[in-house]
Amino acid sequence: MNAHEIDYQIFGEEMQFVELELDPREAVIAEAGNFMMMDQEIQMNTIFGDGSKQNEGFLGKVLGAGKRLLTGESLFMTIFTNEGAGKKKVSFASPYPGKIIPIDLTRYNGKFICQKDAFLCAAKGVSIGIEFSRKLGRGFFGGEGFIMQKVEGDGMAFVHAGGTMARKELRPGEKLKVDTGCIIGFTQTIQYDIEFVGGIKNTIFGGEGLFFASLTGPGTVYIQSLPFSRLANRVLQAAPQGGGKDKGEGSILGGLGDVLGGDRRF
């Protein structure tokens, strides 16, 4: 194997974290901000790119880092290496409520395609690149679906799903229509396209967007029930105006409570 072979265990239900067990000199790579805790002998370093081309000279490092810019990610990633004599552990946490999904790339012919913000961590040697769409329509209308990440190699990778995760096994020719933000990822055998919802009433009053993703089998598709963009929008809508606390929310009096409390002026 080119990638380091690591053991893991996932803890928790709705706010999960994954604990990775590293043998001496084994390492994992992760996006910034996902680190949770590690044993003392684990050494943390910032690297240029994803670490899969560290032995290919300066040009290899530049290519490995440059492809990450196209997905809106940082040029740098963090690598955690076991510098001790025995097995050591390092853990990474979910950024918001949901599930952590282990992806064994050897089971998917060495490649898995996912949303650009779904990647959590992976064994060193796994390459984190970009998956370009061949159709311009996906770029104009597909949102995040135009440039997706591809995780390649022969090791373990971990992606994160918001809310509840659904796994669908599509037969040859079987089609699944999905909200573009609800896609976590899919195998390379899945055909991916963007379709217009259709219908004047759906377009004007539907409230679900004008386009959805069309996924055609054969292959495996992972779907999330709560995309982070949807969660963020709901939080912003519920936030009180002006940053103050709305004491009337959820009370019997409602807005009248603010008037009686002296917080609302005429």
76-80, 93-97, 143-147, 155-159: least confident range:
143-147
Closest CA to 213 of 118, 149, 141: 141
Report the residue count for the chain. Answer: 266
pLDDT given for residue 232 in this prediction: 67
Q: Is 194 helix (H, G, I), strand (E, B) or coil?
A: strand
Q: Please choose, from the candidates 52, 45, 79, the residue with its C-alpha nearest in 3D space to the C-alpha of residue 67.
A: 52
Whether 142 has a pLDDT exceeding 60, the answer reads no
Lowest mean pLDDT among 22-31, 154-163, 243-252: 243-252
Mean pLDDT of 47-70: 58
In a domain, residue 56? The reply is yes
Q: Which two tokens mark 146?
A: 């135009």
Q: 155 lies in a domain?
A: yes
Say which CATH number the domain at 162 has.
3.60.160.10
Q: What's the whole-number mean pLDDT along residues 195-220?
A: 68
Quick one: pLDDT at residue 198? 58
Closest CA to 116 of 126, 104, 128: 128
Is position 264 within any domain?
A: no
Range of 72's domain?
Answer: 7-237
pTM score: 0.76
Please state, in angstroms and as integers, the Cα–Cα distance from residue 138 to each residue in 124, 147, 211, following that order: 31, 9, 10
> Residue 113: inside a domain, yes or no?
yes
Burial of residue 104, with CB atoms counted within 10 A of its CB: 0-12 exposed, 13-18 middle, 19 or more buried: exposed
Mean pLDDT of the chain: 77
Euclidean distance between CA atoms 72 and 76, whole angstroms: 12
* H, E, C per residue of 49-94: CCCCCCCCHHHHHHHHHHHHHCCCCCCEEEEEEECCCCCEEEEEEC
230-261 in b/e form (b: 16+ CB < 10 A) is: beeeeeeeeeeeeeeebbbeeeeeeeebbeee
Q: How far apart are CA 182 and CA 197, in angstroms?
A: 16
Is the bond preceding 172 in cis, omega lying within 30 degrees of 0?
Answer: no
Short-list 70, 35, 33, CA closest to 49: 70
Residue 266's pLDDT is 44
pLDDT exceeds cutoff 50 at 140: no
Structure confidence at residue 75 as a pLDDT band (50, 70, 90): low
Q: How confident is the model at residue 116 (pLDDT cuts 50, 70, 90)?
A: confident
Which is more confidently placed, 252 or 119? 119
Mean pLDDT for the stretch of residues 31-59: 77
In a domain, 61, yes or no: yes
Of the pLDDT bands very low, low, confident and very high (cuts 50, 70, 90), residue 92 is very high
3-state secondary structure at position 30? strand
- Residue 97 located in a structural domain: yes
| Tens of pLDDT, residues 165-196 | 999 999 999 999 988 888 899 999 999 888 77
| Higher-confidence position of 169 and 137 | 169
Q: Is residue 249 part of a domain?
A: no
Provide the number of structural domains found in the chain: 1
Query: Is residue 167 in some structural domain?
Result: yes
Task: Please give the Cα distance from 54 to 159 (Å, whole number).
Answer: 23
